[in-house]
C-alpha cells in the first residue's frame, strides 16, 4: 500500500511483515500470487457485505445505499490497495480463481435482486431492465472511486453522489414505463 504494486518487492513486503523472503516464497510463488491472496481476502469481505445486503427490506434506493456505504468505507480505509488492484486488473488481469472481475457477478446479481424486489413492491415498472440498471449502478459505484483518489472525496461525498446517480437511473426506469 505504501509503494504501489509495481514498486513493492517481495523483500520489502517480507521485511514489513517481519518474515524472511524464503518464508514468503514458501507460501506464494511470486508477488502476483501474494497479491491475489490479499485480493481474495478483500473479495471475501465484499461478498459478506453483499450477502448482508440481500436480507435488507428497504426501498430500493435505501437498500442499495445500505450495501454500498460500508463498501465505500471499507475501501476508503485502504484506498492504495484498491488502486493497486485496479491497476493490476487493468494491466495484467487477475486470472486464476478470482477471475478478471471477481466482484462483478455477485454484485450485479445482488443489485438486480434488489431492483426486482422494488418491481414487486411497485417502486419500478415491471418492464424495467433490471440487469442493465444494476450494471449501470455498479459501474457508477466503481467510477466514483476516482473522486476519492483525485478529488479527495470522503464517505459522505461518495455516498451522496451515488445516491444521486441511483435516483437518476430509477427515475429513468420509471419515466420509460408505459402509462397506467
The answer to whether residue 56 scores a pLDDT higher than 70 is yes
Q: Residue 3 falls within a domain, yes or no? A: no
The answer to whether residue 67 scores a pLDDT higher than 70 is yes
Q: Which of 23-27, 51-55, 65-69, 159-163 ranks highest by mean pLDDT?
A: 159-163
Cell 413492491 found at: 121
Residue 131: Cβ-neighbour burial (10 angstroms; 0-12, 13-18, 19+): middle
* pLDDT in the model for residue 39: 74
* pLDDT in the model for residue 95: 60
Domain count, the chain: 1
What's 171's domain CATH number? 1.10.357.10
Q: Residue 9 falls within a domain, yes or no? A: no
DSSP state of 142: H
Question: Which pTM was predicted?
Answer: 0.81
DSSP state of 18: T
State the residue range of the domain holding 97: 31-175
Residue range 104-124: mean pLDDT, rounded = 92
Q: List the Cα angle 79/106/175 in 5-degree steps.
A: 95
pLDDT interval class at 180 (50, 70, 90): low
Q: Residue 82 falls within a domain, yes or no? A: yes
Cell numbers that stand for 96 in this block: 486464476
* H-type alpha helices, the chain: 10-16, 21-27, 31-54, 60-76, 79-91, 104-120, 130-143, 145-150, 155-175
Residue range 148-158: mean pLDDT, rounded = 96
Q: Residue 91 falls within a domain, yes or no? A: yes
DSSP state of 30: S
- The number of beta carbons lying within 10 Å of the beta carbon of residue 128 is 21
Exposure string for 70-92, b = 16+ CB within 10 A, e = fewer: bbbeebeeeeebbbbbeebbeee
Residue range 165-170: mean pLDDT, rounded = 97
The answer to whether residue 41 scores a pLDDT higher than 90 is no
Q: Which of 4-8, 52-56, 155-159 ranks highest by mean pLDDT?
A: 155-159
Q: Residue 10 falls within a domain, yes or no? A: no
The answer to whether residue 112 scores a pLDDT higher than 90 is yes
The answer to whether residue 90 scores a pLDDT higher than 70 is no
Amino acid at each position: 500500500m505504501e509503494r504501489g504494486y509495481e514498486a513493492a518487492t517481495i523483500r520489502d513486503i517480507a521485511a514489513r511483515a517481519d518474515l524472511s523472503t524464503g518464508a514468503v516464497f514458501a507460501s506464494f510463488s511470486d508477488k502476483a500470487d501474494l497479491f491475489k491472496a490479499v485480493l481474495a481476502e478483500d473479495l471475501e469481505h465484499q461478498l459478506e457485505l453483499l450477502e448482508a445486503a440481500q436480507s435488507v427490506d428497504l426501498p430500493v434506493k435505501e437498500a442499495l445505499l445500505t450495501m454500498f456505504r460500508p463498501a465505500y468505507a471499507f475501501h476508503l480505509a485502504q484506498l492504495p490497495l484498491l488502486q493497486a488492484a485496479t491497476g493490476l486488473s487493468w494491466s495484467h488481469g487477475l486470472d486464476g480463481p478470482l477471475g478478471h472481475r471477481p466482484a462483478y457477478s455477485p454484485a450485479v446479481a445482488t443489485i438486480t435482486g434488489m431492483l426486482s424486489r422494488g418491481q414487486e413492491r411497485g417502486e419500478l415498472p415491471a418492464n424495467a431492465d433490471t440487469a442493465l440498471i444494476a450494471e449501470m449502478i455498479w459501474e457508477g459505484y466503481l467510477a466514483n472511486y476516482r473522486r476519492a483518489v483525485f478529488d479527495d472525496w470522503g464517505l459522505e461525498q461518495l455516498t451522496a453522489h451515488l445516491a444521486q446517480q441511483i435516483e437518476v437511473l430509477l427515475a429513468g426506469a420509471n419515466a420509460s414505463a408505459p402509462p397506467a
